[in-house]
A and B are shown apart, each in its own frame.
Chain A
Amino acid sequence: MTQDNNFMHPAAEMYASEEKAGKLDRREFISRATALGVSTVAAYGLLGLDAPAVAGGHAKMGGTIRMQMDVKAMKDPRTHDWTQISIFSAGWLEYLVEYNNDGSFTPMLLTSWEANADATQYVLKIREGVKWNNGDDFTAEDVARNIIGWCDKGLEGNSMAGRMASLVDEATGLAREGAVVAVDSSTVHLNLLQPDITIVPGMADYPAQIVHKSFTVETMVSNPIGTGFMLPENLEVGVKASIVRNEGFDWWGYAAGKGGYVDRIEFIDYGSDPATHMAGFEAEEFDLNWETTGEFVELFDSLGLVKTQVASGATIVVRPNQGHAPYDNKMVRQALAMAVDNNVINELGNASLGVAADNCHVGPMHPEHNPDVTRAPFDPVKAKELMDASGHGDFEHELRSLDSGFWKDTCDAVAAQLRDAGIKVKRTLMPGSTFWNDWTKFPYSATNWNHRPLGTQVLGLAYRSGEAWNEFAWNNTEFDGLLAEANSLANADERRVVMGKIQAIVIDEGVTCQPYWRLVQRHNVAGLVGVDMHIAYLPQIYKWGHAA
């Protein structure tokens, strides 16, 4: 059920004392301790608590669950850019490690991992007795091959390479020689270039699905070899998709008590308009939706549906792109952030379904967040002065966003506040199909970002110079250096010092307006278990079931 070892990382004990001293909250503690290889049971034990029982213990075998979800075309897991793609392939492709709503990391295809004291070496223990559904044994070779595959920067759209950066050779864009070593059939050693605390969380992220050695993108659906308990049945892009139990396959999770309850899961595409989702719910055409946002939370509540909700690091950035004038001017960017009251945006743009944030994309749900560094104060008068002083006082900003949901509402509220401050703004609404084509390039637009366990992670994906997802077009060597330093510090207090500097730079440079952290939620009909909203939208479908 959880890691079956008694490994105790020295830093974990330190974290435990920090937790008791009130420096860390419990979720942060669990998250950090388990990332270092301490089992969940042991981590809870350090706090003098019992590990919580796994929900879903009351599920019965069998049945079908239908979910409203965008059905997208399948591609190589490493290039998945939507969790909706991963949830379909999660039927037969599994993860090494799993991240949970309480912030902990539990092993799936691994049984344990250990980090050395400065987090530059990891020992991964492979779960024994796991079989591929074609009969092959699952071995350390498979794990090593997948990790090496993740490091391939040459593959168009491979976002795993960013997560595995400490294993990648910059010159070749591939895994470094000797970085990933299968020591024996059940052990893999990772030798990192520099200390890296995000490597295990990275392995739990949605593109990190483990594929067989015969894997090809063309045949991944027609010849679905994996370790999971289901198989794809059909996939009609934009219409519907279904996965069904792989009858006769002895999935390792049955014996391990993981679940694997339902016989069949259907994903039905209803487009992006939540009003259509509501009609579908009312027509009883599906049992749970992908996500409920904005004013629909209240509406769906009123239909008598069950809501599952979790406070997360999911957020939205309303950001200028520094590759476009006048956003190369720091004063303009500062003014855009300063003119906006984040509490008001949370209320108007997010139906108060969140908490106000500090424009630096690191928050209380991240262990290294420094609460002393806060946003530049809300001051519309000073914002206007800054804008005028920059020489762009008459510039009409064009704020683009998706044409529905919290994206639209948030940007409408931001635009209204900018106008109140005397800054000219024009709003442009775009449908998802066109908006996402250029999301990193618009001069001024809004993007939602999913939750990630550690504060350094999104900064590494989106704020580091030259990253593919750097939609801010921000290049700052000081920031890059500090981020690398933070990524090598396992100690919470030490890292918080660096993080404080990082937060200050992000805020001072006016990189973005990041108004609020979102509560994420979905709804389901009564009688389901284990279908709870996941803090990071991860596809844990083996937990789904009908209540016994």
Chain B
Amino acid sequence: MGMFILRRTGVMLLTALCLTFIVFIMTNLYPNLEKLAKNEGNFRMSDAEVASFLSNRGYTQGKLHNYGEWLGVLPGYVIEGVDGKTRGRCSNHGAILENANEYCGVLQGHWGFSSRFKEPVSQIVVTRLGLTGKLMFWVLMVMIPSALVIGVFAGMREGSRLDRSLSSGAILTTATPEYVSGVIFIAIFTSSAVGLKWFKGSATSAMDHATLENFLLPVLTIALYGMGYIARMTRASMAEVMTAQYIRTARLKGVSFANIVLKHALRNALIAPFTVIMLQIPWLLNGVVIVEVLFNFKGFGWVLVQAASNNDIDLLLAVSVVGVVVVLLTQLISDIGYVFLNPRIRIS
């Protein structure tokens, strides 16, 4: 087991390394650097000003070299610019700070400085990840129980009227992307045009204090999308279990239907949904991007959009690392959890 986790961690590091390298090369293409320079300096800068801005700040040293600096295997640049000012990577691309280190890469624990937000990347990621964590927690709290309940009810009597209506509902929610359902929710439940105004169509104030009024719609938008899919999986799994030999045996022995479902079928039926739920979490990050922008909730998904549209190199790299960790960590948990749920599976 220890070996297995170790190997998975190795894979995770390797994936992160590859992905960040690709992101790094992409964000360091010259047109992207130009965008960065104009965002940070002045968006009316001339080409010559852009070139001097970039070389003054070490962006034109060569991509491999810069990647090495980001990783922390090469010392951060200290460059005297054509404008006479000396700048350093370890001083946040600004005037040399007294306490600046020689190396300031990821290996030293420095995730860099965001050009968009003018803050250390680590701080931004922690704050924004916390907010998204809050959102995701409530999404999971709504999504998992309701998905399992719907799936079990639909699957325990395959083909019944209950099954048909629940399944149709599940297909409908999972077939409606967040950017459609979110807009519909805002239009129906928040606008003066319809007049219900039960909830708030903006979750900005939910960042400080979330209430049912300002937080339900974003949570529901993401949860409904994932719920349909998990409910379908649970239903399939439940339906299969319900046709198994031992269930028929239990029935013939006169065990009550409720007992069959709860005591005999449920545990076996939940193995598949568990994996699906874990694999669904990285997918939900997609929804987070859309919903956070739609509801102006400034979490991790919003940061991703901001970093990408402003070519904020350090921030994008950190965001991709977080993405890799989330995907592989949920897979790891699902694999390990599987072992506990299904005794037939062994991890060598």
- Interface residues of chain A, those whose CB is within 8 Å of chain B, are 73, 79, 81, 156-157, 218, 236-239, 268, 270-271, 276, 278-280, 282-285, 302-303, 431, 433-434, 436-440, 468-469
CB-CB under 8 A from B105, the residues of chain A are none
- Of chain B, the residue at the smallest CB distance from A284 is B200
Label chain A's interface by main secondary structure. loop
In contact, A283 and B214 (Cβ under 8 angstroms)? yes
Interface residue stretch chosen among B31-39, B138-146, B339-347: B31-39
**Docked CA distance A415–B116 (Å):** 34
Is B117 an interface position by the 8 A CB rule?
yes
Contact of A439 among B44, B202, B295 (CB under 8 A): B44
Per a CB cutoff under 8 Å, which of A239, A271, A278, A438 touches B293?
A271
With A79-B42, A276-B296: A434-B201 Cβ-Cβ less than 8 Å: no
- Residue pair A157, B41 in contact (C-beta under 8 Å): yes
Q: What's the Cα separation between A303 and B190 when bound, in Å?
A: 12
The answer to whether residues A283 and B35 also contact, given A156-B42, A271-B293, A302-B192 and a CB cut-off of 8 A, is: no
Cβ distance B41 to chain A, nearest Cβ, rounded Å: 6
B49, A282: Cβ atoms closer than 8 Å? no
The answer on a CB contact under 8 Å between A433 and B309 is: yes
Query: Which DSSP category, helix, strand, loop or mixed, fits chain B's interface?
Result: loop
Residues in A neighbouring B116, C-beta threshold 8 A: 73, 237-238
Write the nearest CB–CB distance from A292 to chain B, whole angstroms: 16
Interfacial chain B residues near A271, Cβ < 8 Å:
293, 296
Give the CA-CA distance A218 to B49 in the complex, in Å.
21
Report Cα–Cα, A303/B197, bound state, in Å. 12
- Please pick, from B94, B205, B310, the residue contacting A283 in the complex, using a CB distance under 8 A: B205
How many residue pairs, one in A and one in B, have C-beta atoms under 8 Å apart? 93
Cβ–Cβ < 8 Å partners of A276 in chain B: 202, 294, 296
Q: Which residues of B contact A81 (CB under 8 A)?
A: 42-44
A283 neighbours in B (Cβ, 8 Å): 190, 200-202, 204-205, 214
Q: In angstroms, how far is the closest chain B Cβ from the Cβ of A466?
A: 11
Q: Which positions 310-340 of chain B face chain A at CB distance < 8 Å?
A: 310
Q: Using an 8 Å CB-CB cutoff, how does the interface string of B197-237 with A read, 1 for contact, 0 for none? A: 10011101100000000100000000000000000000000
CB-CB under 8 A for A436 and B43, given A218-B94, A237-B116, A280-B296: yes
27 example contacts (A-B, Cβ-Cβ < 8 A) are as follows: A73-B118, A79-B42, A156-B41, A156-B49, A157-B41, A236-B117, A237-B117, A238-B116, A268-B204, A270-B204, A270-B296, A279-B190, A279-B191, A282-B192, A282-B200, A283-B205, A285-B202, A285-B204, A285-B205, A302-B192, A303-B192, A433-B35, A433-B39, A434-B309, A437-B43, A440-B44, A468-B46
The answer for the CA separation of A469 and B197 in the assembled complex, in Å, is 45
Q: What's the least CB distance linking A512 to chain B, in Å?
A: 17
Q: Which chain B residues (40-70) contact chain A, with CB distance < 8 Å?
A: 41-46, 49, 53
